[in-house]
Structure 1
Amino acid sequence: MPPIADLFLFALALVAAGVVSGLLAGIFGIGGGAILVPVFYQVFGYLDVPEAVRMHLSIGTSIAIIVPTSVRSFTAHRKRSAVDTDLLKSWIIALPLGAILASVIAAFISSVGLRLVFVGIALLVALRMLFNRDSWRIGNELPKGIGNQIAGVVIGTLSGLMGIGGGVLNNTYMTSFGRPIHQAVATSSGVGVLISIPGIFGYIWAGWGEPGLPLGSTGFINWIAVALIVPIALVVTPWGVQLAHSMSKRQLELGFGVFLILVSLRFLYSIYG
């Protein structure tokens, strides 16, 4: 067992991650998974969780935390009438289907495979954030019909494989078709709800009976980490919502983009270093 002092430091790291993830949930409409997954990966590694299940456990636990933070963020944004409820209603099947598909993939993919998926998506998102221009658009109207449903499934699947609430991907999707960033952020909080709830059940199923999981785990979800972080994130999320409606996001986008690149390099080092 690690020394008590070291465990205390890691508990502080989890608390700090809870604060940051809560702020991000409000500011970007995301569940903070891009912060939590790499933190969990380090903590679970230090606690000697086997490499074969460590990334899976990090992603599943992050998904579980996204449920309350996304609900909290969605409620706050909806009070401001900023949510595109029609888009959410159109994805009522597509997003959960993508989340379930992600858990099925996670049940069969290796730890290295999951880390590479995280790195690939994180780098694309980071580049988008670092070099984003308001003038970058694919079109002026969101796709309809089958195109809209495919987008929902893809966002749900990729988000589920990364342990994120879909906010980063949905923000990119909506703004690429001319939607205002504040509407995208607000709607993304609802996307997180539709992805994370089925994602919990999927990652419990995917990890059921796996050897080497730490105390307090059900499948690929560790409830001790959830219990530590959720109360903090719930308190902090409304602060992020206030920031989202009162400030420019450019500096935050730059900071988040740099963070994603550093996390990606860390995961690449864990694979090839």
Structure 2
Amino acid sequence: MITLFIVFAVVGVVAGLIAGLFGLGGGVVMVPAMIYTFGVLAFPDAILTHLAVGTSLACIVVTAIIASWTHWQKKAIDTHLLLPLVPGVVVGAWLGGVVAARLEGIELQYAFAVFLVFVGVTMLRKVAQDQSSLPGQWGLGLSALAIGGFSSLFGVGGGSMTVPFLRYCGVVMTRAVATSAALGLPIAASGAVSYVVQGWGHTELPSGALGFVYLPAFIGMVICSAPASRIGAKLAHKLPAEKLQRAFAVVLLLIAAELLIGGMMAGANS
């Protein structure tokens, strides 16, 4: 049990740094780590991934609060960008949990991975200008719905889609990361509640699970991820915008590779 706690604690540190530094929720680290660990613990295959994603979203609620507060103190969060996106991501995140409870989503993993490769390569090649050019009300609403839905489906805080979206709209990288971190809170909260509700009463849930949220892993990771996310957020304000964008692009490509490899392995074992 102590060894298991140490594993979750280390994962929490890495996830927290990523959450604060790149505006990600840390799910890119937490989800695959929990899938592996839950497999070692012999959790049922039918709900293993659901538990990993749901628990990741629950952890992101805490890391998003810490990271957002740090960015807010730096006056980097653009509320004019943030507030119009909140309703859409909340609805999308809830629907993402509903869909995840009914679908395996391997095809969506492939599609999402291809999208991340495109965005990552684009961000590596060119730094967008620091000028705002957001879509209209309908475009903004649909974008928010997609960001919330896919983020909840894959257990991430939304940064992998929010940051590229804001950069495409011409938002400076530091402000895009800060606003993305803040947007991760409503995404994760709505998604986590959805996973709890969708998993409630499932006959194969292990002891310590609240719906599709595994509380022992949640506690172990949150204890370390919360302070680490604050450190990551501070680092985000000390790095040059171009270097931060390139580093973020590399993270996106790593996420894409993880999703592609995971999908191929799942397909080979089915």
Residue 89 of structure 1: aligned partner = 83
Q: CA deviation at 1:131?
A: 4.8
Q: Tell me, yes or no, if structure 1 residue 254 matches structure 2 residue 254.
A: no
Structure 2 matches for 1:86-165, cutoff 5 A?
86-109=80-103, 113-132=104-123, 133-135=125-127, 141-165=133-157
Structure 2 matches for 1:31-70, cutoff 5 A?
31-70=25-64
Residue 216 of structure 1: aligned partner = 208
Contact 2:116 2:252 in 1 (8 A): no
Q: CA deviation at 1:252?
A: 5.3
RMSD (CA atoms): 2.1
Tell me: CA distance 1:89–1:259, structure 2 relative to 1, closer, same or farther (3 Å): closer
Distance 1:92 1:140 in 2: 18
Residue 77 of structure 1: aligned partner = 71
- Unmatched 5+ residue regions in structure 2? none
Tell me: CA distance 1:12–1:130, structure 2 relative to 1, closer, same or farther (3 Å): farther
Q: CA deviation at 1:214?
A: 1.5
Q: CA deviation at 1:12?
A: 3.4
Residue 262 of structure 2: aligned partner = 266
SS of 2:238's partner is coil
Tell me: CA distance 1:58–1:68, structure 2 relative to 1, closer, same or farther (3 Å): same
Contact 1:21 1:233 in 2 (8 A): yes
TM-score normalised by L of structure 2: 0.90
Tell me: CA distance 1:205–1:213, structure 2 relative to 1, closer, same or farther (3 Å): same
TM-score normalised by L of structure 1: 0.89
Q: CA deviation at 1:135?
A: 4.9
Amino acid at match of 2:49: M
- Unmatched 5+ residue regions in structure 1? none
Distance 1:186 1:87 in 2: 11
Amino acid at match of 1:198: S
Give CA-to-partner distance per residue, 1:108-164, whole Å, 9 cap, x none: 11xxx2344334323422442245233569x96011211111111110001010101
Aligned length: 263
Tell me: CA distance 1:256–1:148, structure 2 relative to 1, closer, same or farther (3 Å): closer
Tell me: CA distance 1:166–1:102, structure 2 relative to 1, closer, same or farther (3 Å): same
Return 248-257 or 65-74, whichever deviates more: 248-257
Q: CA deviation at 1:239?
A: 1.2
SS of 1:92's partner is helix
Q: CA deviation at 1:263?
A: 5.0
Distance 1:50 1:158 in 2: 24
Q: CA deviation at 1:29?
A: 1.1
Q: CA deviation at 1:200?
A: 1.7
Q: CA deviation at 1:261?
A: 0.7
Give CA-to-partner distance per residue, 1:173-209, whole Å, 9 cap, x none: 0001111111110000111011111112110111111
Amino acid at match of 2:267: I
Amino acid at match of 2:216: I
Structure 2 matches for 1:172-251, cutoff 5 A?
172-247=164-239, 248-249=243-244, 250-251=246-247
Contact 1:73 1:241 in 2 (8 A): yes
